[in-house]
Structure 1
Amino acid sequence: MSRLFRIAIDGPAASGKSTTAKQLATLFRFRYIDSGAMFRAVTLKSVEAGLDPEKHKDQVATLASSLDIQFPELGTVSVNGLDVTDQLRQESVARAIGPIASNPQVRHTLAEHQPELKIFLVANVRARAQRRFRELQQKQQHTDETLEQVMADIEARDLADRTRTISPLKMADDAVELDTSHLSIDQQVSAIQKLVYQKLEQQQQQQ
């Protein structure tokens, strides 16, 4: 696979986007780009610069365009050469990311080139809540939170994502939907791997 080939993976919270993308990146030796982490990186630097994401939208966009955001290894993020992986989970970042992620100038700055393959992962709320609940238990975080509370949180997140003014969550017209409700991560990766090979074969036939 010597030519440039981009895969975009989108979907609601806890649908398996990050885990699937990381495994695909390893499988195909692709560069893994976490768009959510990129927005958190811009948010972190905006907070450090004392910028109000609501009042200083233009300044935040200018800052975003000046940042060199890289993913040196799977699961790590650097900004201008400095590792900020742990800082991206700070509460101050979580509080400020909303208006920055919906800032159209920032979204344009961070937008990738048009991908050759778009995947939209979906799964029912219970399946996604069970995954998130297991993650929290494994990380020993929020151990007092029940599965029902996690489900409620995901439903609230779904509503917010679908109804936000800027770039609401929806499947692109040319995306392929993959229901992961009853699939393991390995099965998800295998299904997308087949789609990649199909797309590559189509491209070769068109040349």
Structure 2
Amino acid sequence: MFNIAIDGPSASGKSTIAKQLARILNFTHIDTGAMYRAIAYQCLKNKIDLNDEIGCTEVANHSVIELLSNGEVFINDMNVTQAIRHEKVSQGASAVSRFKGVRQRLVEMQQEMAKSKGFVMDGRDITSVVLPDAEVKIFQTADVAVRAKRRYDQLIANGANVEYDDVYTDLVNRDYQDTHRDESPLMKVDNAVEIDTTYLSIEESVALIMEIIESRGLK
């Protein structure tokens, strides 16, 4: 058994591809982005300013997050699966992820979840911080315009009233925040394989990663 760590910017297809890999390999998928969204949701629910580092860290330290195999997300026994997919919560996730205390708490949870083998974990700091010893490390990216179109289509399909230009601007801002924050910035580690999904389908991206796994003789 082995672990797969996938990092990359928003809307690069990380979670979708991670879920497919987990299904094929019969592994467990851990969507760390959902965990940050859950903390952001809890902060918003309790009317805590997302720029309040102490307040957001306090929320994280008093939260228990569960990720079920069917994709459902619970925080403190409350099902927030749908609630955390709203754009305001996604933006909030990028805000709270800046804080050292929040990241430390969630990294502890993530490492505890994946302390054995057989996990596919995706996020922003998985290859560099959470699972630095993962046998397979992927840095997944795509052109920002393509990522914005993917996110826009997803939001429209979910009934959101958004404009493409706003989604594009939000992604550009989130990319900057993710790569320039002091705590665990998004980066490609030296031993990660970069996969650009701009012109690849989900199936093609999954096939590429499966080739990497097979070429290393992993089972």
TM-score by length of 2: 0.74
1:32 aligns to what SS in structure 2? strand
Equivalent position to 2:76, from 80, 92, 99: 80
Which amino acid in 2 is paired with 1:162? Answer: T
- d(CA) in 2 for partners of 1:153 and 1:63? 25
Per-residue deviation, 1:92: 6.5
Aligned to 2:60: 64
Unpaired runs of 5+ residues, structure 2, are 112-130
Task: State the match for 1:135 in structure 2.
Answer: 154
Aligned to 1:16: 13
The alpha carbon displacement at 1:164 in A equals 2.6
Deviates more, 1:81-90 or 1:171-180: 81-90
For residue 152 of structure 2, what is the amino acid of its counterpart?
Answer: F
Taking the aligned partners of 1:151 and 1:95, their CA distance within structure 2 comes to: 13
1:116/1:185 CA distance change after superposition, 3 Å: same
Identify which of 125, 139, 156 aligns with 1:120.
139
Give distance in 2, aligned partners of 1:168 and 1:64. Answer: 19
Using the alignment, how far apart are the partners of 1:131 and 1:188 within structure 2?
15
| Alignment partner of 2:33 out of 29, 36, 41 | 36
Q: Is the 8 A contact 2:94 2:178 kept in 1?
A: no
Aligned to 1:6: 3
Identity across matched positions, percent: 37
TM-superposition CA deviations, 1:34-92 (whole Å, max 9, x none): 111101222333444554454452x6435424433122134310123331212324577
Report what 2:123 is aligned to. Answer: none
Query: 1:161 aligns to what?
Result: 178
Query: For residue 101 of structure 2, what is the amino acid of its counterpart?
Result: Q
2:99: which partner in 1?
A: 103
Q: Which runs of 4+ in 1 moved over 6 A?
A: none
Q: Would you say the 8 A contact 1:47–1:92 is kept in 2? A: no
Task: Report the counterpart of residue 193 of structure 1 in structure 2.
Answer: 210
CA distance in 1, matches of 2:98, 2:149: 28
- Partners in 2 of 1:46 and 1:131 — Cα distance? 27
Count of matched residue pairs: 196
Structure 1 gap segments, 5+ residues each: none
Shift in Å, 1:30: 1.6
Contact 2:7 2:140 in 1 (8 A): yes
Higher relative contact order (CA 8 A, sep 6+): 2
**Equivalent position SS for 2:68:** coil
Counterpart of 2:195 in 1: which secondary structure?
Answer: strand
Query: Do the aligned partners of residues 152 and 99 (structure 1) sit closer, same or farther apart at CA in structure 2, a change above 3 Å counting?
Result: closer
TM-score by structure 1 length? 0.78
1:44–1:93: 8 Å Cα contact kept in structure 2?
A: yes
Whichever structure has more strand as a proportion of its residues is 2
Q: Paired residue for 1:175?
A: 192
